[in-house]
Amino acid sequence: MPEYRKNLGLAELVSFGVGGTIGSGIFVVPGIAAALAGPGSLLAWLIVAVSATCVMLSLAWATSKYPSTGAFYSIFSKVFSKRLSTTVVLFYVIASVFGVATIAAGIGQYVSFFGYTDVLWLEIAIVVMFGTINIIGVRPSGSIEILLTILKTLPLIVLSIILVPYVQKDNFIPFFTESKTDFLKAVIIVYWPFTGFEISAIPADETRNKKDVFTSLVIVILITTIVYLFLNIALIGSVGSQLLASSPAPLALAASRVFHTSGKAMAVIGIIAMLSALNAYLLAASRVLQNVSFENRLPLLPDISKSGTPYAAIIISTIAGASLLLFSNQFQYLATISVIATLLPYIFLCACAIKLFDSPGIRIVAGIGLVSTLAILLTSFL
Protein backbone atom coordinates (compact mmCIF):
# COMPACT_ATOMS: atom_id res chain seq x y z
CA MET A 1 0.00 0.00 0.00
CA PRO A 2 1.43 3.44 -0.92
CA GLU A 3 2.55 5.60 1.99
CA TYR A 4 3.28 9.27 2.61
CA ARG A 5 6.64 10.42 1.27
CA LYS A 6 9.06 12.23 3.56
CA ASN A 7 9.57 15.31 1.40
CA LEU A 8 9.18 18.12 3.96
CA GLY A 9 11.85 19.94 5.93
CA LEU A 10 11.77 22.75 8.48
CA ALA A 11 11.32 25.45 5.81
CA GLU A 12 8.23 23.76 4.38
CA LEU A 13 6.70 23.17 7.83
CA VAL A 14 7.22 26.80 8.83
CA SER A 15 5.80 28.00 5.52
CA PHE A 16 2.69 25.82 5.90
CA GLY A 17 2.18 27.14 9.45
CA VAL A 18 2.78 30.77 8.54
CA GLY A 19 0.84 30.24 5.32
CA GLY A 20 -2.16 28.90 7.20
CA THR A 21 -2.00 31.64 9.85
CA ILE A 22 -1.10 34.79 7.93
CA GLY A 23 -3.83 34.51 5.34
CA SER A 24 -7.13 36.18 4.66
CA GLY A 25 -7.64 37.06 8.32
CA ILE A 26 -4.95 39.69 8.72
CA PHE A 27 -5.97 41.34 5.43
CA VAL A 28 -9.64 41.67 6.41
CA VAL A 29 -10.07 41.31 10.18
CA PRO A 30 -8.25 44.52 11.28
CA GLY A 31 -11.09 46.52 9.73
CA ILE A 32 -13.82 44.33 11.25
CA ALA A 33 -12.19 44.40 14.71
CA ALA A 34 -11.68 48.16 14.53
CA ALA A 35 -15.35 48.61 13.65
CA LEU A 36 -16.37 46.56 16.68
CA ALA A 37 -13.96 47.82 19.34
CA GLY A 38 -12.08 50.82 17.94
CA PRO A 39 -8.49 51.19 19.21
CA GLY A 40 -9.41 48.76 22.00
CA SER A 41 -9.25 45.99 19.39
CA LEU A 42 -5.48 46.06 19.98
CA LEU A 43 -6.14 44.48 23.38
CA ALA A 44 -8.14 41.76 21.62
CA TRP A 45 -5.11 40.96 19.44
CA LEU A 46 -2.92 40.68 22.56
CA ILE A 47 -5.38 38.45 24.44
CA VAL A 48 -5.74 36.10 21.50
CA ALA A 49 -1.94 36.01 20.99
CA VAL A 50 -1.46 34.75 24.57
CA SER A 51 -4.23 32.17 24.20
CA ALA A 52 -2.99 30.91 20.83
CA THR A 53 0.58 30.63 22.13
CA CYS A 54 -0.57 28.42 25.01
CA VAL A 55 -2.52 26.20 22.61
CA MET A 56 0.48 26.03 20.28
CA LEU A 57 2.80 24.92 23.09
CA SER A 58 0.28 22.28 24.18
CA LEU A 59 0.18 20.96 20.60
CA ALA A 60 3.97 21.10 20.27
CA TRP A 61 4.56 19.07 23.42
CA ALA A 62 1.83 16.53 22.62
CA THR A 63 2.94 16.13 18.99
CA SER A 64 6.54 15.57 20.09
CA LYS A 65 5.29 12.63 22.15
CA TYR A 66 2.89 11.24 19.52
CA PRO A 67 3.95 12.43 16.03
CA SER A 68 1.69 11.36 13.17
CA THR A 69 0.26 12.84 10.00
CA GLY A 70 -3.21 14.03 10.90
CA ALA A 71 -1.73 14.94 14.31
CA PHE A 72 -4.94 15.36 16.27
CA TYR A 73 -6.39 11.85 16.32
CA SER A 74 -3.16 10.24 17.51
CA ILE A 75 -3.12 12.70 20.42
CA PHE A 76 -6.82 12.66 21.32
CA SER A 77 -7.08 8.86 21.23
CA LYS A 78 -4.45 8.57 23.98
CA VAL A 79 -6.74 10.41 26.38
CA PHE A 80 -10.31 10.18 25.11
CA SER A 81 -12.56 7.50 23.64
CA LYS A 82 -12.45 6.65 19.94
CA ARG A 83 -15.91 8.13 19.35
CA LEU A 84 -15.13 11.41 21.09
CA SER A 85 -11.73 11.68 19.39
CA THR A 86 -13.34 11.15 15.99
CA THR A 87 -16.02 13.75 16.69
CA VAL A 88 -13.51 16.41 17.74
CA VAL A 89 -11.28 15.71 14.73
CA LEU A 90 -14.26 16.04 12.39
CA PHE A 91 -14.89 19.48 13.88
CA TYR A 92 -11.38 20.41 12.73
CA VAL A 93 -12.12 19.10 9.23
CA ILE A 94 -15.26 21.25 9.15
CA ALA A 95 -13.24 24.23 10.37
CA SER A 96 -10.64 23.70 7.66
CA VAL A 97 -13.23 23.41 4.90
CA PHE A 98 -14.94 26.60 6.10
CA GLY A 99 -11.46 28.11 6.27
CA VAL A 100 -10.89 27.29 2.60
CA ALA A 101 -14.16 29.02 1.71
CA THR A 102 -13.42 32.02 3.91
CA ILE A 103 -9.98 32.47 2.39
CA ALA A 104 -11.32 32.18 -1.14
CA ALA A 105 -14.02 34.73 -0.26
CA GLY A 106 -11.30 37.01 1.06
CA ILE A 107 -9.50 36.71 -2.26
CA GLY A 108 -12.70 37.85 -3.93
CA GLN A 109 -12.88 40.90 -1.67
CA TYR A 110 -9.35 41.94 -2.61
CA VAL A 111 -9.96 41.29 -6.31
CA SER A 112 -12.95 43.62 -6.00
CA PHE A 113 -10.48 46.32 -4.93
CA PHE A 114 -9.54 46.46 -8.63
CA GLY A 115 -13.14 47.08 -9.64
CA TYR A 116 -14.19 43.50 -10.45
CA THR A 117 -17.49 42.45 -8.91
CA ASP A 118 -18.39 39.05 -10.40
CA VAL A 119 -15.67 36.99 -8.66
CA LEU A 120 -17.50 33.81 -7.59
CA TRP A 121 -16.25 31.66 -10.46
CA LEU A 122 -12.73 32.98 -9.98
CA GLU A 123 -12.85 31.98 -6.30
CA ILE A 124 -14.06 28.48 -7.20
CA ALA A 125 -11.40 28.10 -9.92
CA ILE A 126 -8.65 29.01 -7.45
CA VAL A 127 -9.84 26.40 -4.95
CA VAL A 128 -9.90 23.74 -7.68
CA MET A 129 -6.43 24.76 -8.90
CA PHE A 130 -4.83 24.33 -5.48
CA GLY A 131 -6.73 21.10 -4.93
CA THR A 132 -5.11 19.82 -8.13
CA ILE A 133 -1.65 20.92 -6.98
CA ASN A 134 -2.11 19.06 -3.70
CA ILE A 135 -3.14 15.91 -5.56
CA ILE A 136 0.05 16.07 -7.64
CA GLY A 137 2.17 15.92 -4.50
CA VAL A 138 3.29 17.57 -1.27
CA ARG A 139 6.63 18.62 -2.77
CA PRO A 140 5.21 21.09 -5.34
CA SER A 141 2.69 22.22 -2.74
CA GLY A 142 5.50 22.84 -0.22
CA SER A 143 7.70 24.67 -2.75
CA ILE A 144 4.83 26.96 -3.75
CA GLU A 145 4.08 27.57 -0.07
CA ILE A 146 7.62 28.71 0.69
CA LEU A 147 7.57 31.20 -2.20
CA LEU A 148 4.12 32.58 -1.37
CA THR A 149 4.96 32.88 2.35
CA ILE A 150 8.06 34.97 1.63
CA LEU A 151 6.17 37.15 -0.86
CA LYS A 152 3.43 37.95 1.66
CA THR A 153 5.27 38.21 5.00
CA LEU A 154 8.05 40.62 4.08
CA PRO A 155 5.69 43.28 2.63
CA LEU A 156 3.62 43.21 5.85
CA ILE A 157 6.72 43.98 7.87
CA VAL A 158 7.72 46.72 5.42
CA LEU A 159 4.22 48.25 5.53
CA SER A 160 4.32 48.33 9.33
CA ILE A 161 7.65 50.15 9.28
CA ILE A 162 6.49 52.61 6.62
CA LEU A 163 3.36 53.49 8.62
CA VAL A 164 5.22 54.21 11.88
CA PRO A 165 6.03 57.89 11.04
CA TYR A 166 2.31 58.47 10.39
CA VAL A 167 1.18 57.17 13.78
CA GLN A 168 -0.73 59.80 15.79
CA LYS A 169 -1.59 59.60 19.48
CA ASP A 170 -5.12 60.93 18.87
CA ASN A 171 -5.98 57.83 16.85
CA PHE A 172 -5.80 55.75 20.04
CA ILE A 173 -8.26 57.98 21.95
CA PRO A 174 -10.74 56.94 23.24
CA PHE A 175 -9.18 53.51 23.55
CA PHE A 176 -12.33 51.62 24.62
CA THR A 177 -15.79 51.78 23.13
CA GLU A 178 -18.83 51.77 25.39
CA SER A 179 -19.98 48.28 24.33
CA LYS A 180 -18.40 45.32 26.12
CA THR A 181 -20.34 42.99 23.83
CA ASP A 182 -18.68 44.46 20.77
CA PHE A 183 -15.24 43.97 22.36
CA LEU A 184 -16.02 40.30 22.97
CA LYS A 185 -17.13 39.98 19.34
CA ALA A 186 -13.79 41.51 18.35
CA VAL A 187 -11.91 38.90 20.40
CA ILE A 188 -13.79 36.10 18.65
CA ILE A 189 -13.18 37.40 15.13
CA VAL A 190 -9.54 38.22 15.93
CA TYR A 191 -8.96 34.54 16.72
CA TRP A 192 -9.51 33.81 13.02
CA PRO A 193 -6.14 35.28 11.88
CA PHE A 194 -4.36 33.24 14.59
CA THR A 195 -5.81 29.88 13.59
CA GLY A 196 -3.72 27.80 11.22
CA PHE A 197 -0.43 27.53 13.13
CA GLU A 198 -1.29 23.88 13.87
CA ILE A 199 -0.85 23.03 10.18
CA SER A 200 2.91 22.78 10.82
CA ALA A 201 2.23 19.69 12.95
CA ILE A 202 -0.26 17.97 10.66
CA PRO A 203 2.06 16.43 7.99
CA ALA A 204 4.36 14.82 10.61
CA ASP A 205 4.79 11.54 8.67
CA GLU A 206 5.80 13.54 5.59
CA THR A 207 8.74 15.25 7.30
CA ARG A 208 12.34 14.12 7.06
CA ASN A 209 12.97 14.92 10.74
CA LYS A 210 10.00 14.82 13.12
CA LYS A 211 11.85 17.03 15.60
CA ASP A 212 11.31 19.86 13.13
CA VAL A 213 7.60 19.86 13.99
CA PHE A 214 8.14 21.34 17.46
CA THR A 215 10.63 23.90 16.18
CA SER A 216 8.37 24.97 13.32
CA LEU A 217 5.40 25.56 15.64
CA VAL A 218 7.45 27.86 17.88
CA ILE A 219 8.82 29.80 14.91
CA VAL A 220 5.35 30.17 13.39
CA ILE A 221 3.70 31.60 16.51
CA LEU A 222 6.61 34.00 17.08
CA ILE A 223 6.45 35.34 13.52
CA THR A 224 2.67 35.60 13.62
CA THR A 225 2.44 37.39 16.96
CA ILE A 226 5.16 39.93 16.20
CA VAL A 227 3.82 40.75 12.74
CA TYR A 228 0.19 41.03 13.90
CA LEU A 229 0.78 43.24 16.93
CA PHE A 230 3.24 45.53 15.16
CA LEU A 231 1.04 45.83 12.07
CA ASN A 232 -2.21 46.57 13.95
CA ILE A 233 -0.60 49.25 16.10
CA ALA A 234 0.74 50.86 12.94
CA LEU A 235 -2.63 50.55 11.14
CA ILE A 236 -4.79 52.08 13.86
CA GLY A 237 -2.18 54.68 14.78
CA SER A 238 -1.72 55.92 11.22
CA VAL A 239 -5.18 55.54 9.67
CA GLY A 240 -7.54 55.56 12.65
CA SER A 241 -10.05 52.88 13.58
CA GLN A 242 -13.07 54.55 11.93
CA LEU A 243 -11.47 54.89 8.52
CA LEU A 244 -9.91 51.43 8.84
CA ALA A 245 -13.34 49.99 9.53
CA SER A 246 -14.82 51.57 6.40
CA SER A 247 -12.85 49.43 3.95
CA PRO A 248 -13.20 45.73 3.04
CA ALA A 249 -9.47 45.83 2.25
CA PRO A 250 -8.00 47.78 5.22
CA LEU A 251 -4.34 47.09 4.48
CA ALA A 252 -4.70 48.28 0.92
CA LEU A 253 -6.42 51.40 2.25
CA ALA A 254 -3.61 52.09 4.71
CA ALA A 255 -0.97 51.62 2.04
CA SER A 256 -2.78 53.93 -0.38
CA ARG A 257 -2.85 56.73 2.20
CA VAL A 258 0.93 56.69 2.40
CA PHE A 259 1.65 56.14 -1.29
CA HIS A 260 -1.29 56.70 -3.61
CA THR A 261 -0.08 54.02 -6.01
CA SER A 262 0.66 51.39 -3.34
CA GLY A 263 -2.92 50.40 -2.54
CA LYS A 264 -3.13 48.09 -5.54
CA ALA A 265 0.28 46.62 -4.71
CA MET A 266 -0.92 45.78 -1.19
CA ALA A 267 -4.09 44.28 -2.65
CA VAL A 268 -1.91 41.99 -4.80
CA ILE A 269 0.08 41.00 -1.70
CA GLY A 270 -3.19 40.28 0.08
CA ILE A 271 -4.22 37.96 -2.74
CA ILE A 272 -0.83 36.21 -2.59
CA ALA A 273 -1.23 35.75 1.17
CA MET A 274 -4.64 34.19 0.78
CA LEU A 275 -3.44 31.87 -1.99
CA SER A 276 -0.79 30.66 0.44
CA ALA A 277 -3.34 30.13 3.22
CA LEU A 278 -5.71 28.33 0.86
CA ASN A 279 -2.98 25.88 -0.11
CA ALA A 280 -2.12 25.23 3.55
CA TYR A 281 -5.73 24.71 4.61
CA LEU A 282 -6.37 22.21 1.83
CA LEU A 283 -3.34 20.24 2.99
CA ALA A 284 -4.59 20.34 6.59
CA ALA A 285 -8.18 19.34 5.80
CA SER A 286 -7.16 16.44 3.56
CA ARG A 287 -4.54 14.98 5.94
CA VAL A 288 -6.80 15.13 8.97
CA LEU A 289 -9.73 13.68 7.00
CA GLN A 290 -7.53 10.86 5.67
CA ASN A 291 -6.20 10.08 9.14
CA VAL A 292 -9.58 9.86 10.86
CA SER A 293 -10.93 7.80 7.94
CA PHE A 294 -8.01 5.38 8.26
CA GLU A 295 -8.50 5.03 12.02
CA ASN A 296 -12.22 4.33 11.53
CA ARG A 297 -11.65 2.08 8.49
CA LEU A 298 -13.86 4.02 6.12
CA PRO A 299 -13.72 2.90 2.45
CA LEU A 300 -11.80 4.89 -0.20
CA LEU A 301 -10.89 7.92 1.93
CA PRO A 302 -7.86 6.31 3.64
CA ASP A 303 -6.25 5.59 0.26
CA ILE A 304 -2.97 7.27 -0.62
CA SER A 305 -1.85 7.62 -4.26
CA LYS A 306 1.50 6.50 -5.66
CA SER A 307 2.64 10.12 -5.42
CA GLY A 308 2.03 9.98 -1.66
CA THR A 309 -1.10 12.13 -1.47
CA PRO A 310 -4.53 11.32 0.01
CA TYR A 311 -6.22 12.09 -3.30
CA ALA A 312 -9.80 11.17 -2.29
CA ALA A 313 -9.61 13.31 0.86
CA ILE A 314 -8.18 16.21 -1.17
CA ILE A 315 -10.99 15.96 -3.73
CA ILE A 316 -13.69 15.96 -1.03
CA SER A 317 -12.07 18.90 0.79
CA THR A 318 -11.81 20.83 -2.48
CA ILE A 319 -15.42 20.22 -3.50
CA ALA A 320 -16.73 21.07 -0.02
CA GLY A 321 -14.73 24.31 0.18
CA ALA A 322 -15.74 25.38 -3.31
CA SER A 323 -19.42 24.64 -2.59
CA LEU A 324 -19.41 26.91 0.47
CA LEU A 325 -18.40 29.79 -1.79
CA LEU A 326 -22.07 30.10 -2.70
CA PHE A 327 -22.17 31.99 0.61
CA SER A 328 -19.00 34.00 -0.05
CA ASN A 329 -20.86 37.27 0.55
CA GLN A 330 -21.19 36.24 4.21
CA PHE A 331 -17.47 36.48 4.99
CA GLN A 332 -17.85 37.29 8.69
CA TYR A 333 -20.16 34.32 9.26
CA LEU A 334 -17.91 31.91 7.36
CA ALA A 335 -14.92 33.10 9.41
CA THR A 336 -16.81 32.85 12.69
CA ILE A 337 -17.97 29.29 11.99
CA SER A 338 -14.42 28.32 11.06
CA VAL A 339 -13.07 29.81 14.29
CA ILE A 340 -15.72 28.18 16.50
CA ALA A 341 -15.15 24.78 14.91
CA THR A 342 -11.37 25.22 15.37
CA LEU A 343 -11.59 26.26 19.02
CA LEU A 344 -13.08 22.94 20.13
CA PRO A 345 -10.05 20.88 18.98
CA TYR A 346 -7.80 23.55 20.53
CA ILE A 347 -9.55 23.05 23.89
CA PHE A 348 -9.11 19.28 23.67
CA LEU A 349 -5.43 19.68 22.73
CA CYS A 350 -4.86 21.65 25.92
CA ALA A 351 -6.79 19.05 27.93
CA CYS A 352 -4.61 16.32 26.42
CA ALA A 353 -1.42 18.15 27.39
CA ILE A 354 -2.68 18.42 30.98
CA LYS A 355 -3.38 14.67 31.06
CA LEU A 356 -0.28 13.50 29.19
CA PHE A 357 2.38 15.45 31.11
CA ASP A 358 3.25 15.65 34.81
CA SER A 359 5.30 18.86 34.49
CA PRO A 360 3.64 21.73 36.44
CA GLY A 361 4.90 24.23 33.87
CA ILE A 362 3.31 22.38 30.96
CA ARG A 363 0.05 21.98 32.87
CA ILE A 364 -0.10 25.68 33.74
CA VAL A 365 0.47 26.74 30.14
CA ALA A 366 -2.04 24.18 28.87
CA GLY A 367 -4.50 25.30 31.55
CA ILE A 368 -4.24 28.92 30.42
CA GLY A 369 -4.81 27.83 26.84
CA LEU A 370 -7.80 25.69 27.82
CA VAL A 371 -9.52 28.30 30.01
CA SER A 372 -8.94 31.23 27.62
CA THR A 373 -10.02 29.28 24.55
CA LEU A 374 -13.06 27.87 26.32
CA ALA A 375 -14.04 31.37 27.48
CA ILE A 376 -13.80 32.72 23.94
CA LEU A 377 -15.80 29.76 22.60
CA LEU A 378 -18.58 30.21 25.17
CA THR A 379 -18.65 33.95 24.54
CA SER A 380 -19.31 33.32 20.86
CA PHE A 381 -22.68 31.79 21.77
CA LEU A 382 -23.80 34.67 23.97
Say if residue 378's pLDDT is above 90: no
Query: How many folded domains does the chain comprise?
Result: 1
Say if residue 298's pLDDT is above 80: no
Q: From 105, 84, 57, 55, select the one nearest 337 (Cα to Cα).
A: 105
Residue 334's contacts (CB-CB under 8 Å, 6 or more residues apart) are 98, 101, 102, 105, 324, 327, 328
> Is residue 161 one of the residues assigned to a domain?
yes
Average pLDDT value for the chain: 86
Say if residue 247's pLDDT is above 80: no
Between residues 216 and 66, the one the model is more confident about: 216
> Is residue 323 one of the residues assigned to a domain?
yes
What local confidence, expressed as pLDDT, does residue 329 receive?
67
Range of the domain at 184: 10-379
> Is residue 1 one of the residues assigned to a domain?
no
Q: Is 300 left (phi over 0), alpha (psi -120 to 50) or beta?
A: left
> Is residue 203 one of the residues assigned to a domain?
yes
> Is residue 135 one of the residues assigned to a domain?
yes
Between residues 323 and 263, the one the model is more confident about: 323
What local confidence, expressed as pLDDT, does residue 225 receive?
94
Q: Identify the CATH number of the domain in which residue 122 sits.
A: 1.20.1740.10
Q: From 372, 6, 322, 18, select the one nearest 194 (Cα to Cα).
A: 18
For 197-214, how does the pLDDT look when each residue is reduced to its tens digit (9 = 90+)? 999 988 888 898 888 999
> Is residue 3 one of the residues assigned to a domain?
no
Is the separation of the CB atoms in 173 and 105 below 8 Å?
no
> How big, in percent rounded to 5, are the helix, strand and coil portions of the chain?
80, 0, 20
What local confidence, expressed as pLDDT, does residue 262 receive?
65
Q: How many residues does the chain have?
A: 382
> Is residue 217 one of the residues assigned to a domain?
yes
Report the pLDDT averaged over residues 30-56: 92
> Is residue 372 one of the residues assigned to a domain?
yes
